[in-house]
Amino acid sequence: MFRHRWTRALRGIPMASASVALVGGALAAPAQADTAPKPGSNPAVDYQDPVDATPPVSRPDTEHCSVTAVDHDFGYTLGGPPYTTTLTPPKKCEGPWNKVVLDWSGSVKGRQYDRLAAVFVGGAEVFRTSTAEPDDDGISWHVAKDITDFTPLLKDPQKLQLELGNVVNETYTGVYRIKLKITYYQADRRHPAATTADRVVPLGDTGSDSAPWMSVGKGGSTRTDVTFPRNLTDARLEVYARGGGCDEQWFDAVPSDLAETAPDYLCGGGPYREVQVTVDGQPAGLAQPYPVVYSGGIVPTLWRPIPAIDQFGTEAYDIDLTPFAGLLADGKPHAIGITPYGAADSWNVDGSLFLGTDAHKARTSGGVTTNTLSHTPVVKTVQTPGGNGSTDVSVSTGRSWKISGYVETSKGRVTTTVEQKFAYTNTDNVSATGSHQVMHQRDHGSTTVTTKARGRTDAQRSTWSYPIDVDLDIPLYGDYNNYDMKAAVTQRRVIVDTSRKGSARVWRTDAVTDDTVDSTGSIARTAGVVQSADGASTENYRGTTDTGACYSRSLRTAHGWVTADRQHHCRVADVAREALKG
**Tens digits of residue pLDDT in 326-381:** 999 999 999 999 999 999 999 999 999 999 999 999 999 999 999 999 999 999 99
Q: Name which of 424, 426, 433, 425 is nearest 391 in CA terms.
A: 433
Please check whether residue 328 is in contact with residue 288, taking contact to mean a CB–CB distance below 8 angstroms.
no
The per-residue pLDDT for range 271-303, each reduced to its tens digit, is 999 999 999 999 999 999 999 999 889 999 999
The per-residue pLDDT for range 534-573, each reduced to its tens digit, is 999 999 999 999 999 999 999 999 998 899 999 999 999 9
Res 17 pLDDT > 50: no
Q: The sheet that has 83-87: what strands, in order across it?
A: 83-87, 158-164, 116-121, 124-130
Q: What is the pLDDT of residue 345?
A: 96
Cβ-based neighbours of 492, under 8 Å, separated by 6 or more: 309, 465, 466, 467, 468, 514, 515, 516, 517
The per-residue pLDDT for range 86-116, each reduced to its tens digit, is 999 999 999 999 999 999 998 888 888 889 9
Phi, psi (degrees; rounded to nearest 5) at 74: -105, 100
Torsion of CA 306, 489, 286, 150, to 10 degrees: -10
Quick count: other Cβ atoms within 10 Å of Cβ 477? 18
- Per residue, what are the HEC states of 96-135? CEEEEEEEEEEEECCCCCCCEEEEEECCEEEEEEECCCCC
Q: What is the pLDDT of residue 2?
A: 35
Cβ-based neighbours of 504, under 8 Å, separated by 6 or more: none
- In percent, the amount of the chain with pLDDT more than 70 equals 93
The per-residue pLDDT for range 26-78, each reduced to its tens digit, is 444 444 454 566 656 778 777 777 889 999 999 999 999 999 999 999 999 99
Phi, psi (degrees; rounded to nearest 5) at 180: -120, 125
The per-residue pLDDT for range 426-485, each reduced to its tens digit, is 999 999 999 999 999 999 999 999 999 999 999 999 999 999 999 999 999 888 789 999
What is the H or E stretch that residue 489 is in?
A: strand 482-500
Q: Give the whole-angstrom CA distance, residue 242 versus residue 233.
A: 30
Res 396 pLDDT > 50: yes
Please check whether residue 303 is in contact with residue 391, taking contact to mean a CB–CB distance below 8 angstroms.
no
3-13 burial, b at 16+ Cβ within 10 Å, e below that, comes to bbebbeebbeb
Residue 571, sorted as left (phi over 0), alpha (psi -120 to 50) or beta, turns out to be beta
pTM confidence score: 0.93
Residue 245 DSSP code: G
Please check whether residue 26 is in contact with residue 143, taking contact to mean a CB–CB distance below 8 angstroms.
no
